[in-house]
A and B are shown apart, each in its own frame.
Chain A
């Protein structure tokens, strides 16, 4: 728990998700393993959930949105379990926890004008009493996000650019006055020149509207620019978590080191380091040990025997690696106990 004054808004308590496939021979794959963290009521935060494909980041996003149910564990919103919500509570959850998806095109019905996607939720949740008020809210929100209403409304989705479509989706989410937005790779399909606009828009939602953002991404550079804290996922387990400045600038987990070292820096004088990764055949992943052991250049015997717990290597960091076994084991499951309060760092201006 992050303290008595900060009641959790959204809370994941030891959630796991196992997918079962196959008709005759069942194959189980663990997409997410016992993960706990909270999004506090205040101050509003931006948390990055980073990982490669297959890391479980999208599964975590879908779980938090209530789109799929956890195999184990509980997700709570304002103290109520998503599994036991009544109709009224669920409706509130659906309005207050919004999402922005990767491909803005797929979120649209191509036969409806853009107006439809903006006005429908207003009617749905009774946020406007008449057509004039509806239009006023839509126009005000679009303009706040740097879209001109006359260039946006009355058009079909294909007539807008990718960046415009994505901002319309942000506008739609914002109109519903949400408390949390889960943004799943919101800029990965957007051109470089428009990416900055979307990221600044997310920052605006956080700072001006007090909305907490869970930023799901494979891209550490954009995460670094906007998030306060980060969870790095590897094959369904949190490898490292905490203050994003520390995690990116001085990564501890060998996997985080590999990820950070693979970022192509936009500077020809900062070449990629020598590959620290060399997929070695020397170690084999075991079901019992650390799931990164087969790729790890510093794996020890202990890494093959049992999975490492999260070590509290610092007040604002937790690392799941036996290299840090000199540090205390995390006392609580809740990763957010290692987070820095958002807006704390003076560097983030």
Chain B
């Protein structure tokens, strides 16, 4: 097994100047049946240019985390605690107006399902330019057209697509338009929430490859949110695994796939179908936890094959095991086995 190092108190300090720092983020949804703790104490940071995969199943809190990073938690949701520092500024402490000016220019979102995020009655060119105008940019008709065709070239769209309405474009092309909008103000962080979930596998590869290429070109950090571990293996430098509103493991992509530490990560990887080897797929027994009445102790303990007494009563802290490696599991804190 891995080296067991002592516990550090803070997230990896090796990050240098992090472009994004999330500290103890908690987002709860207040429902009639009680508060659902969708995000419950999430901390991580992102270096400039780094690609992070935020992986989880439905209800794990990954999409809520993504929304919190752009300050878009709406009632009945509420950010209960935590800070989201983008280039040192707390996005959660800003007024709506201040935050608006940061969207696109500092942090941009590529939404899930481009089909629904573009306005069907406006030509895509004008939708790209609207974002720029929102930020007070002034340009002539010709300059605007040139900006759009330059952005379209970067995302692999033909210039003629600019005058199309969304319904005239294929799903993959529409998703490329949303990427063009996201990079139009050179943000330092791009957040993409399942950008390819409705696309076919061939188009999916093209869109993710495009996203990676433009992200590298403008030097932005990127967070890809999703549940497809295969896609994450192809995209990310680092992987963060969410379960029941917590980050259960964070590590470099190779470490996560080749040597998963948290039992959930391990099961998630062994339950993945692939075309390399035919085998009996390992299922994860049980069901995802209730966010309103989460199980005591470790949130994964009712489904964990390696559960022991301590897991049932004590919530595991997030342990820093090595550079860029954190895991929240009692198996790895060195005091008990």
Tell me, yes or no, whether A binds B: yes
A191 and B278 within 8 A (CB):
no
Residues of B within 8 A of A275 (CB): 205-206, 209
A196 to B201, CA, bound (A): 20
A269 to B254, CA, bound (A): 8
B287 and A161 within 8 A (CB):
yes
Q: List 22 A-B contacts (CB under 8 A).
A: A52-B201, A53-B200, A164-B287, A191-B57, A191-B227, A192-B227, A192-B268, A194-B284, A218-B201, A224-B274, A224-B275, A259-B201, A263-B274, A264-B234, A265-B230, A266-B233, A266-B257, A268-B234, A269-B254, A270-B233, A275-B209, A277-B206
Give chain A's interface residues, CB within 8 Å of chain B.
52-53, 161-164, 191-197, 199-200, 218-222, 224-225, 245, 248-249, 258-260, 262-272, 275, 277, 347-348
B205 and A264 within 8 A (CB):
yes
The yes or no answer to B228 lying at the interface (CB within 8 A) is yes
A272 and B273 within 8 A (CB):
no
**Other CB < 8 Å A-B pairs besides A195-B273, A199-B281, 16 of them?**
A52-B202, A164-B287, A191-B227, A196-B273, A197-B283, A200-B283, A218-B201, A221-B274, A221-B275, A222-B273, A225-B273, A263-B274, A264-B208, A265-B274, A266-B257, A268-B257
Residues of B within 8 A of A267 (CB): 233, 257, 274, 276
B257 and A195 within 8 A (CB):
no
A265 to B205, CA, bound (A): 11
Give how many A-B residue pairs fall within 8 Å (CB-CB): 125
A245 to B275, CA, bound (A): 9
A168 to B47, CA, bound (A): 45
A163 and B253 within 8 A (CB):
no
B271 and A347 within 8 A (CB):
no
Residues of A within 8 A of B307 (CB): none
Residues of B within 8 A of A197 (CB): 283
A8 to B92, CA, bound (A): 65
Give chain B's interface residues, CB within 8 Å of chain A.
57-58, 200-202, 204-206, 208-209, 227-231, 233-234, 236, 253-254, 257, 267-269, 271-276, 278-284, 287-288
Question: B58: nearest residue on chain A (CB-CB)?
Answer: A191
A196 to B267, CA, bound (A): 11
B269 and A266 within 8 A (CB):
yes
Q: Which 7 A-B pairs have the closest CB atoms?
A: A264-B230, A196-B281, A193-B284, A52-B200, A191-B57, A196-B283, A197-B283
Contacting residue for B57 out of A192, A225, A269, CB 8 A: A192
Question: B202: nearest residue on chain A (CB-CB)?
Answer: A262
Question: A198: nearest residue on chain B (CB-CB)?
Answer: B283
* Closest chain B CB from A314 CB (angstroms): 19
Residues of A within 8 A of B253 (CB): 268
A200 and B280 within 8 A (CB):
yes
* Closest chain B CB from A262 CB (angstroms): 4
A224 and B287 within 8 A (CB):
no
B254 and A268 within 8 A (CB):
yes
Residues of A within 8 A of B268 (CB): 192-193
Contacting residue for A262 out of B205, B227, B288, CB 8 A: B205
B276 and A265 within 8 A (CB):
yes
A263 and B288 within 8 A (CB):
no
Question: B55: nearest residue on chain A (CB-CB)?
Answer: A192
Question: A187: nearest residue on chain B (CB-CB)?
Answer: B273
* Closest chain B CB from A151 CB (angstroms): 9
B202 and A265 within 8 A (CB):
no
B273 and A224 within 8 A (CB):
yes
Question: B228: nearest residue on chain A (CB-CB)?
Answer: A264
* Closest chain A CB from B64 CB (angstroms): 16
B283 and A191 within 8 A (CB):
no
A286 to B207, CA, bound (A): 27
Residues of A within 8 A of B254 (CB): 268-269
Residues of A within 8 A of B229 (CB): 192, 266
Residues of B within 8 A of A272 (CB): 205, 209, 234
A248 and B233 within 8 A (CB):
no
A348 and B278 within 8 A (CB):
yes
Question: A189: nearest residue on chain B (CB-CB)?
Answer: B58
Residues of B within 8 A of A193 (CB): 57, 267-268, 271, 283-284, 288
